[in-house]
Structure 1
Amino acid sequence: MKTRELNDEISLNKNFRIDGFCKIVRGNTGLKKDELLDAGDYVALQYGKTYKVDVVDETFNFFVNEEYFKESQVVNQGDTILISTSETIEDLGHSCFYDRKDLGLLGGEQILLKPKSNSINGKYLYYFSKFFKTELQKYATGLKVFRFNIDDLKRISFHIPPLPEQTAIANYLDQKTTTIDKKTELLNQKIENYKKLRKAIINKAVTKGLDNKVELKESEIDWIGKIPKHWEVKRFKEFAQTIKGKNLEFYETQVENSLPNLSLEYLRNDSVVFETYVKADDKNLIANENDLIIIWDGAGVGEILYGKKGVISSTTAKLKFSNIINAQFFSFLRFNVEYRLKNIPTGMGIPHLNPNELKNFMCPIPPIKEQSQIAEYLDQKTATIDKMVENLQTQITTLQHLRKVLINDAVTGKIKVV
């Protein structure tokens, strides 16, 4: 449709399908993360890099050279990029605005919206994509990975205001969202500062204790440094043992005497619903919320997590402590332990925890009474910090909701901008 014809149609207040005013391009350039450069001929719009980005501007520094060039995959300033595949339904249809003068190349798992004429303001189109994202999600297919296709996108139609009004709406939203984004960034910085403070408080307490005047001695362990003179340094095997999970028969539905299979994904994420059940005759394989579980195999090797009610999987192990260790004290010490264990896995393909490294891992151990005091102190301190972080995250959620409502109301005419 020519510019004059499109302008005439817009003036009639008609509804338009997206493909009526946009060229829709499916991304098919094979851009791999390990092939991206710090400088190059074209901006590399690789799926993993655009997934959470709202604007691709001069701060987006991922490039590829001429050999990746495809005319059909060129992205110009003013274009909008949609994420067409996602592991979460909430992120499906996420869009980002291309705001650079140099050319970009579209990667896979993305769809490009390219205005067909100068009757469409690119920034207005970008903001409208935030509105129709919810509509796109209605067409999602898949169970663990969600996606939509171009035909689904073409089903969406909406009213387009005249170009001057589009521009006014885009400018209004630029101003309002910038203000919200600055507030959000400030809150995120506060959260990061609280997290650093939390980490520092824990590290000091589990390696130096609570008495600032206590006499110290060399631990002769690099990562520990000096410890209180009355503390000991013990190998992990002197105060704990591991109970390794086993390969057990899976059930797709819950049967008598079965419990959830404690997969890594289920342990890490409270929102994940377990999909498989197992039976365990060996009661040692059953965990609960007070147990600590270490990842034995895979990408998370060395990570130590709180358990849930269920049966430990073959890629994990449950920690069992002797009476010389307070489990809650170790739950705070574990942050130091897992950081170092993650850096010494074995295996050429799938990484595995080195059992000898774990058994001989040296840890600072105060007297059992002092362990309890440290654990109680850290429970109180971390609870206070966690509450502050939770409050800040609530503020961020409120701002993000306000941002969404503001965009939706502006692009649909509920807010009169002009």
Structure 2
Amino acid sequence: MKQVRDQKIDMIFNSYFQTYLPCYWDTKKLLHLAEETQHGFVDGPFGSDLKSNEYQDKGTPLIQLNNIRHGQHILRNMKYIDDRKTKELIRHVAIPNDIVIAKMAEPVARAAIVSDEYAEYVIVADCVKLTPNKSKIDLVFLLWAINSDEVRIRAEMVSTGTTRIRINLAELKKLKVPYPPIAEQRSIAVFLDHETAKIDTLIEKQQQLIKLLKEKRQAVISHAVTKGLNTDAPMKDSGVEWLGEVPEHWSVTTLKHSWSVIDCKHLTAEFVDEGIPLASIREVKSWEVDLSESKKTTENYYQQLIDGNRKPSIGDIIYSRNATVGEAAKVSIDIDFAMGQDVCLIRKIKDFDTDYLLYQLKSPIVTSQLDSLLIGSTFKRINVEDIRNFLIASPTVDEQREISSYLNQVTHKHDSLIGKAQSAIELMQERRTALISAAVTGKIDVRNWTRSTD
């Protein structure tokens, strides 16, 4: 079956390349573009040959999946092995200007040129090292080609797995890339380096704009929920060092003074395709609880989960207390659902504006308290009693509503600008991807292209 499938895939791509590549171009398997040496195209060692307990803080750096990103060899979250282990794994050594390829998504078969920061590296089991034959292929062109959509789609089709696909070394060796004359390869590489750099600069500017807008948005929220909207209001010392002064008529109290904090039922529910929604961490990452992709449980488990006044209702807040601590969203839909694991319910016991409290929970007035309250090393969490004792600044209810109404308008404007910047980034990324594909398949003729001086 696999042989038949591979033949069909080859037929599809051979037909595509014959139809859309320039007539004088060829295609080559990656195997035929590697140095014809014993270690010219190899994958990483078996897991038993390199164990995590052999990792060190210095020595020969490893190349792991997380070091291959966006066409670059990223020197971050580095692990090392000693010289003795490096010699044992000499077959898996990569040097600057080799190409490393990820065998696993996301995405599968992404590639990068090995950095010259170190003289040598060792690849791990889920990576592949290819030493290009530079008499046959331009190094940078080969990188662009491997990372193009045309080659990546082929790689995905021959990969295995469901939740996270994987491509093996044998399939990588058979992977075909467009193969123009070497002079044209170099022209394409120079063209793409230049043109994608311009797009990347524009993307970076939009990302900086988004960062500034988010900072401005957060600053407006923080000021409003700690100082109010009246710049002439008399101020007083809050008595809390990190909070500073607050309006004289405000009070600083614990959350439990106005809100009841109810923990989830610590019960592992049965999940079903059709049933009653559960709100856990994923469902509280936006302003309102979003159940569109939530897990579901049976009526029997639902009744157990809402036992003890745990049924969420409009005006309540669902707050994440484990893992991604501090995410919060209000309940604004009148349907039956239950709290899942890792969250708690915050329900008003006095007249208090829900939106105002949400802004406080998402502002430094609360997030600064979290830092000293989180427990656990790798899996962070906060006790429900600590949440009950959060200090919050409380103006009158009418002023709370005035502040939340103002912040709703301001944040809507900021979110709209952020959304436009994100859309611009997406369009530029699409343009970048299309440009790469067009260049490496000859749809753009760059043989006479010259670098612009702008």
TM-score (norm 2): 0.78
SS of equivalent residue, structure 1 residue 224: coil
CA shift for structure 1 position 386: 0.7
Q: Deviations over 1:146-190 (max 9, x none)?
A: 333223324422331122111111111111111111111111111
SS of equivalent residue, structure 2 residue 216: helix
Q: Structure 2: where are the runs of 5+ without partners?
A: 1-22, 35-39, 448-454
Q: Call closer, same or farther: CA 1:176–1:412 in 2, change over 3 Å.
A: same
Show the counterpart of 1:317.
344
CA shift for structure 1 position 383: 0.7
Show the counterpart of 1:97.
113
CA shift for structure 1 position 370: 0.4
Which amino acid in structure 1 is aligned with residue 108 of structure 2? L
Percentage of identical aligned residues: 22
| Separation in structure 2 between the aligned mates of residue 224 and residue 345 of structure 1, nearest angstrom | 19
User: Are 2:72 and 1:55 equivalent residues in the alignment?
Assistant: yes
Show the counterpart of 2:255.
236
| Separation in structure 1 between the aligned mates of residue 51 and residue 130 of structure 2, nearest angstrom | 19
- Contact kept, 8 Å, 2:254 with 2:388, in 1: the verdict is yes
Show the counterpart of 1:21.
33
SS of equivalent residue, structure 1 residue 227: strand
- Contact kept, 8 Å, 1:36 with 1:44, in 2: the verdict is no
Q: Structure 1: where are the runs of 5+ without partners?
A: 1-10
User: Are 2:164 and 1:145 equivalent residues in the alignment?
Assistant: yes
CA shift for structure 1 position 26: 1.9
SS of equivalent residue, structure 1 residue 217: strand
| Separation in structure 2 between the aligned mates of residue 273 and residue 305 of structure 1, nearest angstrom | 15
CA shift for structure 1 position 117: 4.4
Q: Call closer, same or farther: CA 1:316–1:104 in 2, change over 3 Å.
A: same
Which amino acid in structure 2 is aligned with residue 397 of structure 1? E
Q: Call closer, same or farther: CA 1:62–1:262 in 2, change over 3 Å.
A: same
SS of equivalent residue, structure 1 residue 159: strand
Which amino acid in structure 1 is aligned with residue 409 of structure 2? Q
Q: How does 1:323-338 map to 2 (within 5 A)?
A: 323-335=350-362, 336=364, 337-338=366-367
CA shift for structure 1 position 264: 2.2
SS of equivalent residue, structure 2 residue 192: helix
* Counterpart selection for 1:199 from 202, 215, 218: 218
Q: Call closer, same or farther: CA 1:139–1:292 in 2, change over 3 Å.
A: farther
Q: Call closer, same or farther: CA 1:185–1:174 in 2, change over 3 Å.
A: same
Show the counterpart of 1:249.
269
Q: Call closer, same or farther: CA 1:122–1:342 in 2, change over 3 Å.
A: same
| Separation in structure 1 between the aligned mates of residue 131 and residue 66 of structure 2, nearest angstrom | 21
SS of equivalent residue, structure 1 residue 325: coil
Show the counterpart of 1:373.
402
| Separation in structure 1 between the aligned mates of residue 159 and residue 242 of structure 2, nearest angstrom | 49
Q: Deviations over 1:114-157 (max 9, x none)?
A: 21443111111110011112222234444433333223324422
- Contact kept, 8 Å, 1:248 with 1:278, in 2: the verdict is no
SS of equivalent residue, structure 1 residue 294: strand
| Separation in structure 1 between the aligned mates of residue 81 and residue 114 of structure 2, nearest angstrom | 19
Show the counterpart of 1:5.
none
- Contact kept, 8 Å, 2:316 with 2:348, in 1: the verdict is no
Show the counterpart of 1:164.
183
- Contact kept, 8 Å, 2:141 with 2:188, in 1: the verdict is yes
Q: Call closer, same or farther: CA 1:175–1:13 in 2, change over 3 Å.
A: closer
Q: Call closer, same or farther: CA 1:400–1:121 in 2, change over 3 Å.
A: same
Q: Call closer, same or farther: CA 1:311–1:143 in 2, change over 3 Å.
A: farther
User: Are 2:425 and 1:396 equivalent residues in the alignment?
Assistant: yes
- Contact kept, 8 Å, 1:244 with 1:314, in 2: the verdict is no
Q: Call closer, same or farther: CA 1:392–1:214 in 2, change over 3 Å.
A: same
Which stretch has the larger CA shift, 269-278 or 11-20?
Answer: 269-278
Show the counterpart of 1:83.
102
CA shift for structure 1 position 351: 4.1
- Contact kept, 8 Å, 1:80 with 1:126, in 2: the verdict is yes
Q: Call closer, same or farther: CA 1:251–1:359 in 2, change over 3 Å.
A: closer
Q: CA RMSD in A?
A: 3.1
Q: Deviations over 1:321-352 (max 9, x none)?
A: 13332100011101232442254123577544
| Separation in structure 2 between the aligned mates of residue 181 and residue 18 of structure 1, nearest angstrom | 28
CA shift for structure 1 position 18: 1.8
Show the counterpart of 1:71.
90
Which amino acid in structure 2 is aligned with residue 315 of structure 1? D
User: Are 2:135 and 1:135 equivalent residues in the alignment?
Assistant: no
Show the counterpart of 1:362.
391
| Separation in structure 2 between the aligned mates of residue 15 and residue 319 of structure 1, nearest angstrom | 62
SS of equivalent residue, structure 1 residue 15: strand
CA shift for structure 1 position 273: 3.7
- Contact kept, 8 Å, 1:56 with 1:97, in 2: the verdict is yes
| Separation in structure 1 between the aligned mates of residue 96 and residue 141 of structure 2, nearest angstrom | 13
Q: Deviations over 1:21-56 (max 9, x none)?
A: 23433234858699675xx55444233343x34323
Q: Deviations over 1:40-90 (max 9, x none)?
A: 55444233343x343237x7694635345232222223233233223x5xx
| Separation in structure 2 between the aligned mates of residue 321 and residue 210 of structure 1, nearest angstrom | 24
Show the counterpart of 1:411.
440
* Counterpart selection for 2:237 from 218, 222, 225: 218
| Separation in structure 1 between the aligned mates of residue 26 and residue 32 of structure 2, nearest angstrom | 12
SS of equivalent residue, structure 1 residue 186: helix
Show the counterpart of 2:64.
46
CA shift for structure 1 position 316: 1.4
Q: Call closer, same or farther: CA 1:311–1:356 in 2, change over 3 Å.
A: closer
Which amino acid in structure 1 is aligned with residue 273 of structure 2? T
User: Are 2:133 and 1:121 equivalent residues in the alignment?
Assistant: no
Show the counterpart of 2:325.
301
CA shift for structure 1 position 12: 8.2
| Separation in structure 2 between the aligned mates of residue 220 and residue 295 of structure 1, nearest angstrom | 28
* Counterpart selection for 2:126 from 109, 124, 149: 109
Q: Call closer, same or farther: CA 1:222–1:108 in 2, change over 3 Å.
A: farther
